[in-house]
Structure 1
């Protein structure tokens, strides 16, 4: 019986500072494909030097970019990663076992994520299961503007070992993502026909803090748990505030006479 082949897909833009560590953590794969969205910081060179196949492309959105990677892959299985994620030796062994003796067509992997240098164990951030390992012929991706995710036409099972996720490196990264994520989430809500208001934005932001810090026990993550709860509150507030203001702009738009 032949051994199943594994392809790893990484979508990246201006990730020269961390792409090599990501690629090296999956050096056990049969191929690593990096889709570089015309980076200007040397990501393409660094990724090639680390042993990846690199395809320089435009940016059609996260989901469509990942679908490009799936089509380029030649393995029986595809593992989707971001440049700020790492596969530990323990997860490597579990992945190889899962594709060698499959019990499902797709596997959800937990993530252990850091926030400004501290790994978060509560606050709703752990175990944070996400579908990442799928049989290539059954793999797909959603078209969400923000946080598009992998899909599988078949059964799903869970692995135990986590992806190590170096998210939110510092305060600048937090503030940048607050802006990008709140905007992307508002666009997705508007596409679904959702509406908002100023009171909805305020109430949602407040509840996001309570949910993170109290209900999901963010207080157990110490001071950084409090900071994370504030971040979640702000992101949620601005998401619904943006949606409200987008609706206002749409309502003010002039109607072209026929």
Structure 2
């Protein structure tokens, strides 16, 4: 049987951390790296530690960026195979069953991408909406975290396959929270693009957000999420606009 280390980074996640950890209780090892949470997150973590004291590790470090934080918790894993979750995510019962079955056989890839089910403001995303897939189960000898400032991801040196083990994401619990993240993430994305030499033209600034809305609402089928999907697609296109507007600003300041 393949042994699995489940790893989580946390910060001020009192609303979701309990669900996250409970969905990982089956793992051989559970490692939590916290960035000095100031809410009740630590209360839930300590309660979980008391129940599963023999396999839970807990550490706190100052936040040094999303990618560095996740790479740090991956590096703490004792086992080669790692399952990575954010503190606002949790495995579904179907995913737990699927992974338990998968671990009984020899892996046919070095990493596996899992589908994510999104909470969209006040309800779960419609099944017909296209789901994003993320590498979350991987052999750490063949994978590492990208160093992107935002939207960091697991990079795999080897074969990646899909595994239908869906997990849930409680990220967009309110429009205000979405707007706060848009402002933070767009600044980081613009900075990263600027550092990589990407530049923004006026044409892109005008037309890309329109294209992005069309892709979100129709191609990725947010239309099936009703008004929640309309709001999500609109705000995502606003994120695309802000990202390039901030990049344009960085260009002008340099000039």
TM-score (norm. length: structure 2):
0.91
1:48 shift after superposition: 2.4
Q: Count residues in correspondence.
A: 248
- In structure 2, list runs of 5 or more residues that go unmatched: 50-55
Q: 1:254: which partner in 2? A: none
Contact 2:99 2:165 in 1 (8 A): no
Mapped partners of 1:199, 1:122: distance in 2: 35
- In structure 1, list runs of 5 or more residues that go unmatched: 252-258
C-alpha distance after superposition, 1:72-107 (max 9, x if no partner): 111231011011111112101211222321221111
RMSD: 1.7
Mapped partners of 2:199, 2:126: distance in 1: 33
Secondary structure in structure 2 of the residue aligned to 1:110: strand
Q: 1:96: which partner in 2? A: 100
Contact 2:16 2:170 in 1 (8 A): no
- Going from structure 1 to structure 2, the CA distance change for 1:78 and 1:107 (only over 3 Å counts) comes to same
Mapped partners of 2:103, 2:143: distance in 1: 14
Mapped partners of 1:46, 1:216: distance in 2: 36
Q: 1:8 aligns with which of 6, 9, 17?
A: 6
Q: 1:56: which partner in 2? A: 60
Q: 1:168: which partner in 2? A: 172
- Which contiguous aligned blocks of 4+ residues in structure 1 show a shift greater than 4 angstroms? none
Give 1:162-201 correspondences, 5 Å limit: 162-201=166-205
1:198 shift after superposition: 4.2
- Going from structure 1 to structure 2, the CA distance change for 1:219 and 1:89 (only over 3 Å counts) comes to closer
C-alpha distance after superposition, 1:130-173 (max 9, x if no partner): 11101132231100000111122221111113111112101221
Mapped partners of 1:76, 1:97: distance in 2: 18
Contact 2:110 2:142 in 1 (8 A): yes
Q: 1:218 aligns with which of 222, 244, 248?
A: 222
Q: 1:159: which partner in 2? A: 163
Are 1:207 and 2:205 counterparts? no
Q: 2:41: which partner in 1? A: 43
Mapped partners of 2:150, 2:244: distance in 1: 15
Q: 1:108: which partner in 2? A: 113
- Going from structure 1 to structure 2, the CA distance change for 1:122 and 1:185 (only over 3 Å counts) comes to farther
C-alpha distance after superposition, 1:190-224 (max 9, x if no partner): 12211114442221111111221233332222111
Mapped partners of 1:231, 1:122: distance in 2: 21
TM-score (norm. length: structure 1):
0.90
Secondary structure in structure 2 of the residue aligned to 1:33: strand
Q: 1:230 aligns with which of 218, 234, 253?
A: 234
Contact 2:117 2:124 in 1 (8 A): yes
Are 1:20 and 2:18 counterparts? yes
